Amino acid sequence: MSRIGFILKPDKSEAGVLLENLVPWLCELGHTPVVTTEDQIAPAGSEIVPEAELGAAIDFAVVLGGDGTMLRAARLVSEQERPVLGINLGQLGFLTGFDPERAREAIEAAIAGELPREERMRIAARFTRPGHEPITRYALNDVVLHQGAMARMVEIEASVDGHAVADYRADGLIVATPTGSTAYSMAAGGPIVVPGIGAMTLTPICAHALTHRPLIIDERAVIRLTLGAEARGVILTVDGQWGHSFLPGDAVELTVANKPLVIFSAGKSFFDVMRDKLHWGVRGNR
């Protein structure tokens, strides 16, 4: 018997229909479907747990959604090292590799131990403010320092392993994992990094100095970001899932997290996925 957790996209219409189809099927096979109180959908036969307890309550998780829902799954189950299977109900679906029509087939294969697994690096972001306890949050995609409501430049001081890199004047700065290199960082002109390469990227957003180009940083490094004295209205966001005001005197240190996200692979190479999702043409018949 397996305990299978389900994590649903915010717009639950399509995901809810699929969940209603999967729960009785899994129960017939003798498995236990587990849903969270946060998703507010509990088909008959499913077990309900608080969201914070999901990772400890399951053997693996199934995402019914897109890459944004996968970011939520990473936050819920990575620390317990539970693998995640993604059923793509989103748009791009870089991480949710299985189509809804293959949901049963994919879940059966995961239960049987027949699906390959891959690890995706996460970033540990340790935020400190003088006089307060440090806060640590984890990113599968990226950590971003950016301007808030006002359209003004941000002054960001960046260092790597104690060595000054640059004083950026820009709309913001993105620190991304290889997984996140195809998200916001790519849109800002950052490099695409093949998952499995031990690196983080440092990408300025609309830098004032045209010579401030994206950097690739070794995964063993410690990246530290602070603000210039005149910076105001700056926000720190982690995977777009958590945000906090960021003031002069605050700091965030970014390192590779001890535990990656483990995902079930659909068997396609990263380059297959990239060509498909980013519509990169290939000559000839391959």
SS3 call for 123: strand
Residues 66 and 89 sit within 8 Å (Cβ to Cβ):
yes
199 φ, ψ to 5°?
-155, 155
Vertex 144: Cα angle to 140 and 148 (nearest 5): 140
Q: Any residues with CB less than 8 A from the CB of 250 and at least 6 apart, and which?
A: 127, 128, 129, 130, 226, 227, 236
Residue in 21, 25, 61, 67 with CA at minimum distance from that of residue 41: 21
| Single-letter residue type at 136 | T
Residue 60, beta-bridge partner list: 4
Residue 223, beta-bridge partner list: 160, 254
Is 67 annotated in the active site? yes
Residues 219 and 239 sit within 8 Å (Cβ to Cβ):
no
Distance from the Cα of residue 93 to its chain's centroid: 12
Of 11, 39, 59, 67, the catalytic one is 67
- Catalytically annotated residues: 67
